[in-house]
Structure 1
Amino acid sequence: MNLLANVSPRSTSKQSTVELHVVAASGEFVGTFMFLFLAFCGHKMAVQTQPGNANGPDGTNDNSTVVYIALAYGFSLLVTAWAMYRVSGGLFNPAVTLGLVLTGHVPAVRGLILLVPQLLGAICAAGIVAAIIPGPTSIVQTTLNSSMNSAQGVFLEMFLTSMLVYTVIMLAGEKSKDTYIAPVGIGLALFVCEVAGVFYTGASLNPVRSFGPCVVGMNFQSYHWIYWVGPFLGALVSAGYYGFVKYFNYEQANPGQDSTGGGLEGEES
């Protein structure tokens, strides 16, 4: 017997703004948790199954392990964002949230509310992975390559995050005929950014992704701040460029991209 078969949605006329914020917050907690739980599990597996003689310089991950780690994060985001975007927007990232608030796609109050469940989701994901998957939590911490300094790490995190946030703004924030498959593009954006950055900074691109394992492992590196400053700067960069192209009507610079027919130069058939 299906106990939920006859459950009817509550009347929208009875729902308050506070209740809607709570629903969205629940979606961000569940989505952030599942995104990072799956990603941390994949990350640990990739490192622990790496052949002992396949390490890169200074004991770093070899290139094939970097690709596996990137796949774990990129495809985990793709699946979880697609599952949750109709509930909360599928943000799971304070930097993404900031970018959407600055561009007017998410109200500032909602953005502040979503920070807490994102933090809690990340901590819970790291804690449960630490409890049920063998191996130290340090495996999934974001670490700065010994050849990199903090300034280099900040700027790499900034540029990588700007790519991710801009992708979210243009595919999900700006509505178009492609919006329904935005999670695919967003997941692939994270994947390519992870490939570019895992070896050097751990490719956080998300403050709570770095924060959760540090809390659970009770180990905050002296340079942990770069995983907050870099992603937030990336959000500012992407929001700034979006504001520039939006002000100058980017739709007119390359017309016809949302044409539903075979017409040219924006003509609808």
Structure 2
Amino acid sequence: MNINQLRAGRGLALPFTKAARSNGDLESGGQRLPTIRGVPDGLRNHFIAMCGEFVGTVLFLYFALSGCQVANSIPSSAGLTVAQTGSNPQQLQYIALCFGFSLAVNAWVFFRISGGLFNPAVTIGMCLIGALPWVRGVLLFFTQLLGGIAAAALVSCMFPGPLNVQTKLGGGTTRVQGLFIEMILTAQLVFTIFMLAAEKHKGTFMAPVGIGLSLFMAELTGIYFTGGSLNPARSFGPAVVNHTFFSYHWIYWIGPILGSIVAAGFYKFIKMLEYETANPDQDTDHAERVEERKGPLMDAGMNEADAHPVAAQLADRDTGAGGDGHDSDGRAMAKGKGRESREMDGLGMNGGRFR
């Protein structure tokens, strides 16, 4: 069943749309508000991305912070609170799982709407590598901060007791140590996003799963020492709701932003070295495309030895032409075809001219 193909007499028509009229057509365009057609596409797309990023950030942080609230508030079997007993590995693992799974699910859902970033540091990194226009990046930056505040407010309203999810230094961590912990962990997360969401596995299930696992691993390391923020919106929201800003709150801004800059610098470095040529044909999806292409060639009478290189060339041509958004320049170089730098004719990921 195609949910985009509307059927007469089924579903609920939104008021003031063409679909609500008795004689209106039921094409997908009938769902649009009449006034939306007069809005420039650029402005409309920015608004759509902001809406998606706000809702996605709220959902991501709501489930992550609510899990953190449970872990930090629920008493032990002896009736003691976490403040009385101190942190334990099970508590830290539970929080890390909440953040990792929440990011994976919501990034999967909102990727096609806004990119599923949910993090001002990630937004800055995407702008630095050219995957996101700076205008869109600025709009999403402030939208994510608002989403962090809204998520923290929802957790504070819905769960009993004080909001107990604010990031703070622990385990004797100094401010300088906390700054570098946040920087390194954020750099690892942002670089994972570059390589999965902006490169080979863009739009597949591998990207959100890998990103969620990356956050889970970073949280395991950072929660005890810094609270595992890696995200200015995650620290800013609870601080606003609690009306409490620690004197070292700045590390939850500077650390992630520096980490994003480090990740962007290394990513641009390996792109300049044309890393794709170091290990060509490493993706299983490319091998599957080659096999799909090889079948019809062999059915037409071509032997397998001749069909394989032809099928590989066809698969490279498909991906290079935007068949699934993958970049095949590395494979082309490995086959001696050379590689040229070019700018995309249209807008790439999130409206940027990303290559």
Taking structure 2 as the reference length, the TM-score comes to: 0.70
1:232 corresponds, among 257, 268, 293, to 257
Distance 1:52 1:215, change over 3 A: farther
Distance 1:244 1:71, change over 3 A: same
**Offset at residue 117 of structure 1 (A):** 1.2
Distance 1:178 1:25, change over 3 A: closer
**Offset at residue 52 of structure 1 (A):** 6.5
The residue correspondences of 1:1-269 to structure 2 (distance < 5 A) are: 2-4=11-13, 6=26, 8-9=28-29, 15-51=40-76, 60-137=86-163, 139-174=164-199, 176-177=200-201, 179-181=203-205, 182-258=207-283, 260-261=286-287, 268=312
What is the aligned length? Answer: 265
Aligned CA-pair RMSD: 2.4
Q: How many Å separate the matches in 2 of 1:230 and 1:218?
A: 22
Please tell me the residue identity of whatever aligns with 1:64: Q
**Offset at residue 48 of structure 1 (A):** 2.3
Q: How many Å separate the matches in 2 of 1:255 and 1:221?
A: 49
Q: How many Å separate the matches in 1 of 2:275 and 2:82?
A: 43
SS of the aligned residue for 1:152 comes to: helix
Query: Which of the pair has the greater relative contact order for Cα pairs under 8 Å at 6+ separation?
Result: 1
Gaps of 5+ in 1: none
**Offset at residue 96 of structure 1 (A):** 0.4
**Offset at residue 58 of structure 1 (A):** 8.1
SS of the aligned residue for 2:113 comes to: coil
1:105-154, Cα deviation, whole Å (9 max, x unpaired): 111111001012111111011011101101211x1101101511100000
Which is greater in Rg?
A: 2
**Offset at residue 258 of structure 1 (A):** 2.9
Native 8 Å contact 2:74 2:82 kept in 1: no
Native 8 Å contact 2:56 2:110 kept in 1: yes
Q: How many Å separate the matches in 2 of 1:177 and 1:40?
A: 28
Distance 1:253 1:13, change over 3 A: farther
Native 8 Å contact 1:177 1:258 kept in 2: no
Taking structure 1 as the reference length, the TM-score comes to: 0.91
Identity of aligned residues (%): 47
Distance 1:178 1:208, change over 3 A: closer
Q: How many Å separate the matches in 2 of 1:28 and 1:64?
A: 31
Native 8 Å contact 1:36 1:209 kept in 2: yes
1:181-235, Cα deviation, whole Å (9 max, x unpaired): 2111111110110001100000000001000000000000011000000000000
Q: How many Å separate the matches in 2 of 1:99 and 1:12?
A: 33
